[in-house]
Copies of this chain bind each other. A is one copy, B any other.
Amino acid sequence: MISNRESKFIKSLQLKKFRQLENQFVVEGAKNVLELLKSGLEVIKVFATTDFMAKHKELLSNHHELISETKEADLKKAGSFSANNAALALVKIPDETKIDTSQSILAFDRIKDPGNLGTVIRIADWYGFKQIVCSSESVDCYNPKVISATMGSFARVRVHYTDLAELLDQSEHVYGTTLQGDNIHKLKFQEPAVVVFGNESEGLSEDLKPYLTQEVFIPGYGSAESLNVAVSTAVFCDNFRRLLKA
């Protein structure tokens, strides 16, 4: 079960302030909790229904001292999504690690929408990027809506926050989508690269543009003025993997 005290604590972690204070975040829903249990992240507590526990006995066996059997209604009440009817976990926020610039990186300049950040984490995971770097003003990656939208990929992709200008300045291959860029279908890409995407409504900051070694344009064939940031990320990654120089 979830005590009133626990329920209050879980609710408090919807706010970044309390996540930072407690150094914990919440993972909700069957898919996300299963991916969590398979990952190396440090699980503090798991609340799960009898049904979920029966179905995933083996995976849960490594964590049995952390599990609390919980009614579906209590899970829904404590969590932030009414669709969460199977499991919820408290997880330690992993320690800061250094950004590994020997691998390609997706970078986001002031990404604000939690659904967008969650979706790009899932896209990064599909296309084999293990690191995302966000500018400091971006939405927090431990926001429950971000975790939810990752569909489990939060467990495999590390998100860093830093000054992007500094990162781009150190990188040899810096790609970014702009309206003046070259047609992505006709380029070749090199690794390790940093690929940088702009803010949802304002695009890429002017002060980051000088760092781009190649401006890239995703060709349109109709009348829409733009693509959303997650869609641009996916189309970029698909072409990047296809067009990597051997």
Contact = CB atoms under 8 A, between A and B. Distances in A.
Interface stretch (A46-54, A59-67, A226-234): A226-234
A127 B231 contact: no
A224 B126 contact: yes
A230 to B, nearest CB: 6
Interface in A106-146: 115, 119, 122-130
Interface in A160-210: 185
A238 B235 contact: yes
Counted per complex, copies of this chain come to 2
A231 B119 contact: yes
Interface stretch (A8-16, A20-28, A214-222): A214-222
A234 B153 CA distance: 20
Nearest to A183: B242
A222 to B, nearest CB: 4
A222 B129 contact: yes
A228 B228 CA distance: 14
A237 to B, nearest CB: 8
28 contacts: A119-B228, A122-B224, A122-B227, A122-B228, A122-B231, A123-B227, A123-B231, A125-B223, A126-B222, A126-B224, A127-B221, A127-B222, A128-B220, A128-B222, A129-B222, A151-B225, A151-B226, A156-B223, A156-B224, A230-B230, A230-B231, A231-B231, A231-B234, A234-B234, A234-B235, A235-B238, A238-B238, A238-B239
A148 to B, nearest CB: 12
A239 B243 CA distance: 13
Which of A129, A218, A238 is most buried by chain B, counting CB atoms within 10 A of its CB? Answer: A238
